């Protein structure tokens, strides 16, 4: 499935490449940090930062953008997206920003153009809620966290 994604480069994103897929079958477009070249952003251990990407998008109705962590940043530095996945609604027209948190032991410096997250475009379904007196029974029932696969 291919969709038309309209994208606007904001003034502080000038000179940066647009998000792109890094392999033929990649699910996510890599998002880049649009911090000033002379003002890198350092995130201390346990710290968090809202990182600009320098772009805004217009998703088609019925679609959402999911901002997800990059596995390499998580594995090497403990850096991840705090509200993963972050959601970009189809009617949002502001800058795409990424809320990063440093779960590692060392400070991490984000420089201009660093690949900081992935943007996955996904189809959504909207629910019509129907209140009922009781839900149908299942073998699992109300078993919650850690309740499956045990005997």
- Mind listing the domains of the chain with CATH numbers? 6-123 (2.70.40.10)
Contact between 47 and 100 (Cβ < 8 Å): no
| pLDDT at 149 exceeding the cut of 80 | no
pLDDT of 101: 98
Instruction: Answer whether 116's CB lies under 8 Å from 33's CB.
Output: yes
How many Å from the N-terminal Cα to the C-terminal Cα in the chain?
41
**Residue pointed to by tokens 């850096």:** 79
User: For the segment 18-35, what is each residue's pLDDT rounded down to a tens digit?
Assistant: 999 999 999 999 999 999
Q: Could you give the 3-state DSSP secondary structure of residue 114? A: coil
Task: For residues 83 and 99, give the distance between their C-alpha atoms in angstroms, rounded to a whole number.
Answer: 7
Task: Record the pTM.
Answer: 0.89
Burial class (CB in 10 A: 0-12, 13-18, 19+), 98: buried
151 versus 80: the higher-pLDDT residue is 80
Q: What percent of the chain has pLDDT over 90?
A: 90
Q: What is the pLDDT of residue 151?
A: 59
The pLDDT tens digits for 101-120 are 999 999 999 999 999 999 99
* pLDDT of 150 higher than 70: no
- Say which range, 21-25, 72-76, 138-142, has the weakest mean pLDDT: 138-142
């Amino acid at each position: 499935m291919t969709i038309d994604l309209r994208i606007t480069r904001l003034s502080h994103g000038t000179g940066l490449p647009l998000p792109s897929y890094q392999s033929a079958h990649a699910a996510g477009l890599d998002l880049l940090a649009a911090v000033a070249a002379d003002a890198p952003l350092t995130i201390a251990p346990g710290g968090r930062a809202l990182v600009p990407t320098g772009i805004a998008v217009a998703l088609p109705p019925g679609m959402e953008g999911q901002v997800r962590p990059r596995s390499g940043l998580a594995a090497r530095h403990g850096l991840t997206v705090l509200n993963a996945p972050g959601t970009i609604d189809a009617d949002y027209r502001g800058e795409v920003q990424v809320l990063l948190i440093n779960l590692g032991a060392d400070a991490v410096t984000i420089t201009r153009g660093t690949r900081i997250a992935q943007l996955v475009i996904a189809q959504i379904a909207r629910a019509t809620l129907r209140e009922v007196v009781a839900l149908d029974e299942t073998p699992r029932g109300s078993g919650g966290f850690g309740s499956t696969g045990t005997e």
